[in-house]
Amino acid sequence: MIEQCAELIANAERVLFLTSAGMSADSGIPTFRDKEGYWENFPPFKEKGLEAQELASPWAFQNVLSHAWAFYEWRRRNAHENRPHSGYDIINHWMDSRFDDAFVHTTNTDGYHIISGTPPDKVMEVHGSMWRLQCLGPCSRDFWDENSVPLCDLDYDRMEASNYPQCPHCDSIARPHILMFGDWDYVGHSKQEENFSRFTRQAVDLVFLVGSSGGVPTNDFIALQYKDSGVPVININLDPSANAIVNTEYLLTMKGKEAFEQLDSALPS
Ligand SMILES: [Zn+2]
């Protein structure tokens, strides 16, 4: 199967990468889909019965602000301590030297594609990025880069943050520029949306679906649309049941890092 996929890559000119949690998991970014693993990381949240979906919500920023910011501050520090794995570099290398044009559409908020060197105008972070902030209000549609680590003070024992970042326009509290659960206040990223829309106006001849989970199938449905119009989809996922939506014949039951390394080795230089 690696050889068949390598042949598709060798012949492709315009390629779309759809990446999700499984791509970042190999870099040490927790997915929080597994409730027990999440509770283990955050005993104070277990005591208060605060689930990940509740904390990642505008409700939490209004009602349990210190815990909500603590959750994101912890994740910023975790992403900062880890690094994008070699799979990101391989994607960048292919984008740079092999394909005529390519684009990354990711549901991950760790910013790892851009951090690894993918040109920012070739990335759509559909759920936002933890490295940008916006007003909690919000008082405007503005958002801004914020790469400081640490950003807030964080009491790890109580999982409570303090000294929150502020909105430069109205001095109220800022929040991550991330699409949360039940979120009507996320201001979006119109420039990234335009870039993605422009890329998809022309034909794509190969699609990668990496590390997707059925829980948030945004990328699966994009992949399915392409597959239905005859474009081959390479699905890279440790869990074969993750192929249920797109149902492609090109399924690599592997971790993202391992799959890109094997595919790169199998390519003619
Ligand atoms: Zn504001």
Q: Indicate the SS3 state at residue 9.
A: helix
Q: pLDDT, tens digit, for every residue of 55-83?
A: 889 999 999 999 999 999 999 999 999 99
- What is the phi/psi pair of residue 133, to 5°? -125, 160
Q: What is the rounded distance in angstroms from the CA atom of residue 161 to the CA atom of residue 38?
A: 18
Is residue 177 annotated as part of the catalytic site, yes or no?
no
Nearest to 165 by CA among 85, 61, 245, 254: 61
Residue 255 clears pLDDT 80, i.e. is over it: yes
- The residue count for the chain: 269
Q: Indicate the SS3 state at residue 151.
A: coil
CATH of domain 2-29+84-127+188-266: 3.40.50.1220
Ligand 1 centre distance from Cα of residue 197 (Å): 29
Ligand 1 centre distance from Cα of residue 61 (Å): 14
The number of angstroms, rounded, from the C-alpha of 188 to the middle of its chain's C-alpha atoms is 15
**pLDDT confidence band for 190 (50 / 70 / 90):** very high
The two structure tokens encoding residue 197: 């829309």
Ligand 1 centre distance from Cα of residue 83 (Å): 32
- Looking up tokens 């392409």 gives 226
Q: pLDDT, tens digit, for every residue of 10-20?
A: 999 999 999 99
Q: Give the number of other Cβ atoms within 10 Å of residue 82's Cβ.
A: 15
Q: What is the rounded distance in angstroms from the CA atom of residue 130 to the CA atom of residue 235?
A: 26
Catalytic residue (choose from 67, 85, 127, 189): 127
Ligand 1 centre distance from Cα of residue 102 (Å): 36
Give the residue extent of every domain in the chain. 2-29+84-127+188-266, 35-81+145-178
Ligand 1 centre distance from Cα of residue 172 (Å): 6
For 112, half-sphere exposure in the C-beta direction (CA atoms, 13 angstrom radius) is: 31
Residue type, position 89, single letter = D
Average pLDDT over residues 250-266: 96
- What is the phi/psi pair of residue 45, to 5°? -70, -30
Ligand 1 centre distance from Cα of residue 188 (Å): 15
Ligand 1 centre distance from Cα of residue 127 (Å): 21
* Higher per-residue confidence, 61 vs 45: 61
Q: pLDDT, tens digit, for every residue of 104-151?
A: 999 999 999 999 999 999 999 999 999 999 999 999 999 999 999 999
Average pLDDT over residues 146-165: 95
Residue type, position 264, single letter = D
Q: What is the rounded distance in angstroms from the CA atom of residue 161 to the CA atom of residue 1?
A: 48
**pLDDT confidence band for 37 (50 / 70 / 90):** low
The two structure tokens encoding residue 10: 């060798």
DSSP 217: T
Is residue 146 within 8 A of residue 69, CB to CB? The reply is: no
Ligand 1 centre distance from Cα of residue 77 (Å): 25
